[in-house]
Structure 1
Amino acid sequence: MPELPEVETVMRGLKPALEGRRIEGVLLKRPGLRFPFPERFAERLTGRTITSLSRRAKYILVSLDSGDILLIHLGMTGRFTVLSPAGARNLGEFYFEAGAGEGGEGSHDHVVLGLDDGTRVIYTDPRRFGVMDIFPEDETTSHKLLAGIGVEPLGNAFSAEYLADRFRGKAAPLKAALLDQHVVAGLGNIYVCEALYRAGLSPRRKARTLVRRKGHDPRLNALVHHIREVLSDAIAAGGSTLQDFAHTDGEAGAFQQRFLVYDREGESCQRCGRKIARLVQSGRSTFYCRKCQS
């Protein structure tokens, strides 16, 4: 499933093609994705101008001049293909598997948006775990998929003091605490593994052990720094390609070439030479160095 850097990459790639454009037509090729499309979905999109795109956690938010928000989650295999008026794919491609049909007629092409300049935006999703919803902008913080989500890890509210407050009394392993979307928005398995390695913290450590009666363990400052750093590095690299993800110029994300621990079980730690270990936490693989992370 795409994590924050991949969703950010897709959102940034869609911006130049969508912002300021009017949606002239909406083709829904099935009644829904993971959930049914909301009532009057196509009607509420048709004729509206896209004013801006943003990201919240792992969701893309498309603001419309009607005051509505189009919410998009890519699920496991969702991607967008943007076709220019001439049919050429020169405005960006966003893949997790094989490309969309040239006219949106592919068997896994489920939503086609026609824009006022002739551009077509095709949403393709073989496993149909993606989500699309539309709702009034003033319901953003209360929407069922967005309510209670924690702070953005690249935002000003994310700090060691914030984590200390959320970790106080928490017996959960540090990795599980960071993956809790109510604590930090958008963090996923890959980047938590990498950030914990950079910070020298064990994924098995109890989150509360980094909290002091007054204040916090200085290693929380390092953790915040490395979370920001690994996410920024991944976004700059266009995300990580584990299957067939590609970013705006059609090239694969490159951050997987910089993994220090993720998916490197049995390989040598670049710091101490000890073998990278793997364990399963909450059904997910965790990769770490037993010597360098404590």
Structure 2
Amino acid sequence: MPELPEVETVRRGLLPVMEGAVIAAAAVNRPDLRWPFPPGIARRLTGARVTGLRRRSKYILADLSTSETLLIHLGMSGRMLISGAQLGSFHHAHPAPAKHDHVVLDMDNGARVTFNDARRFGAMDLMPTASAEAHPLLSVLGPEPLGNDFHEGHLAARLKGRATPIKSALLDQHLVAGLGNIYVCEVLFRAGIHPARMARDVTSLEVSRLVPIIREVLSEAIEAGGSSLKDYRQADGELGYFQHSFKVYDRAGDACTSPGCGGQVTRIVQLGRSSFFCPLCQR
């Protein structure tokens, strides 16, 4: 599942061809993805200008001149791909329609944005822009980890007395939005915290380190274009590269990279998800 860095990378890739442009034609090629599309979605999108393109947690939000906002969730295999536009030094011509091209947006600047989703776990919805934050998928989210509302005081208050592993706590989207399995593993390694440690036992000093480490890991991943595992691609079709910087994620059995450690990366399962850590470095 794409996490915050992957979604932010896709948003930034879409920005030059979507923001300020008009959706000249919208084609929706099936009645649903993970959920049914909203009624008349193709008609409601056609002719609308994209006035802003933002991200909330793992969702892309396209604000439209019609006072509606298009919510896009990539799901497990969804891709937003651009063609017919000059991206950097390359021109991507329109490809032949593919089997899983479920939504196609032709922009008035000649670009085409295609939502391709082989497994159909992605989603799209339309909602009034003025009340977008009240949408059921958005209203339950905690603060953005790169924003000012996520700080040491917030994290300390939400971890206090919490009898759940710190790994599970950081994956809770009510506590902080956008963090997923990959980046929580990497954050806890840098912070020297065992993923199975109870959240309530994380010290105030460790909490003070966690916030900047979370921001550091996410920022580095965004700069690398995210992590390409299985289906993820950037909007221009290229791979992300942060997976080459993993210290522990998916490295079970490898030597720990901490100087002088001598430990070995270990894998355990927590709530059905793999956790990777060094048992010597992380306590």
TM normalised by structure 2 equals: 0.94
Query: Is the alpha carbon distance of 1:251 and 1:119 closer, same or farther for their aligned partners in structure 2, counting shifts above 3 Å?
Result: closer
After the TM superposition, list the runs of 4 or more consecutive aligned residues in structure 1 that deviate by more than 3 angstroms.
Answer: 89-93, 248-251
Give the corresponding residue for 2:122: 130
- The answer (yes or no) to whether the contact 2:141–2:175 under 8 Å persists in 1 is yes
Letter in 1 for 2:8: E
Letter in 2 for 1:179: L
Name the % identity: 53
> Does 2:281 match 1:289?
no
Shift of 1:91: 6.1
Find the aligned partners of 1:248 and 1:146 in 2 and give their Cα distance. Answer: 23
Please point out which of 208, 212, 215 is paired with 1:221: 208
Secondary structure, aligned partner of 2:177: coil
Give the corresponding residue for 1:13: 13
Give the corresponding residue for 1:26: 26
Find the aligned partners of 2:100 and 2:237 in 1 and give their Cα distance. Answer: 19
Shift of 1:137: 1.1
Secondary structure, aligned partner of 2:157: helix
Give the corresponding residue for 2:135: 143
- The answer (yes or no) to whether the contact 2:171–2:184 under 8 Å persists in 1 is yes
Alignment: residue pair count: 279
Query: Is the alpha carbon distance of 1:122 and 1:249 closer, same or farther for their aligned partners in structure 2, counting shifts above 3 Å?
Result: closer
Find the aligned partners of 1:181 and 1:26 in 2 and give their Cα distance. Answer: 32
Once the two structures are superposed, the pairs formed by residues 158-197 of structure 1 within 5 Å of their partners are 158-197=150-189
Deviations 1:65-92 (A, max 9, x none): 1111000000011002211179xx9467
Deviations 1:83-119 (A, max 9, x none): 1179xx94679xxxxxxx824x211111111111232
Alignment root-mean-square deviation, CA: 1.8
Q: Which runs of 5+ in 1 are unaligned?
A: 94-100, 212-216
Letter in 2 for 1:288: F
Letter in 2 for 1:33: L
Shift of 1:7: 0.4
Secondary structure, aligned partner of 1:150: coil
Give the corresponding residue for 1:97: none
Find the aligned partners of 1:118 and 1:224 in 2 and give their Cα distance. Answer: 42
Letter in 1 for 2:59: Y
TM normalised by structure 1 equals: 0.91
Secondary structure, aligned partner of 1:228: helix
- The answer (yes or no) to whether the contact 2:79–2:235 under 8 Å persists in 1 is no
Letter in 2 for 1:183: L
Find the aligned partners of 2:153 and 2:257 in 1 and give their Cα distance. Answer: 31
Please point out which of 163, 176, 194 is paired with 1:202: 194
Secondary structure, aligned partner of 2:133: coil
